[in-house]
Amino acid sequence: MTKINGTYNGNLRCELSHPSNIIIHTDAPKDNHGEGKFFSPTDLLAASLASCILTIIGIRARVKGIDIGNPSFQVNKSMASNPRMVAKLKVEIIYDVPIPLEERAYLEEEGRNCPVALSLAESIQQELSFQYA
């Protein structure tokens, strides 16, 4: 179990503390009364999905001895207004080295089944695409 601590610091901002002593600040987005100077909580949700996908792909690639280089991601978050919630997360995984055709489907499926993806409500549409070098 991981214990993460947090404090509301006023002005719609929070400070989150990980056991490793890493600190993350959040801020309400500009379109929801904040200044948007830091990640919003829903930005962290979007980033969590994409980084979880890459982490699981990295684990599976390591186990099978597949060189995946240093892939990156772009994630686009769309919000619904009534109720205000994350409606859609569109994640693109971008590989910087060639991935063998016979390994692509396996890595894609493993990424789609990362813990964050499986934990999100079904009402949040998840679109995942891959760009290969």
All residues at 6 or more sequence positions from 56 whose CB lies less than 8 Å from its CB, including other chains: 110, 111, 113, 114, 115
Q: Does the predicted model carry a pTM greater than 0.85?
A: yes
User: What is the CATH topology of the domain spanning 49-131?
Assistant: GMP Synthetase; Chain A, domain 3 (3.30.300)
> Per residue of the chain (133 residues), what is the pLDDT tens digit?
999 999 999 999 999 999 999 999 999 999 999 999 999 999 999 999 999 999 999 999 999 999 999 999 999 999 999 999 999 999 999 999 999 999 999 999 999 999 999 999 999 999 999 999 9
Q: Which helix (H) or strand (E) holds 88?
A: strand 84-94
Extents of the domains making up the chain: 1-39, 49-131
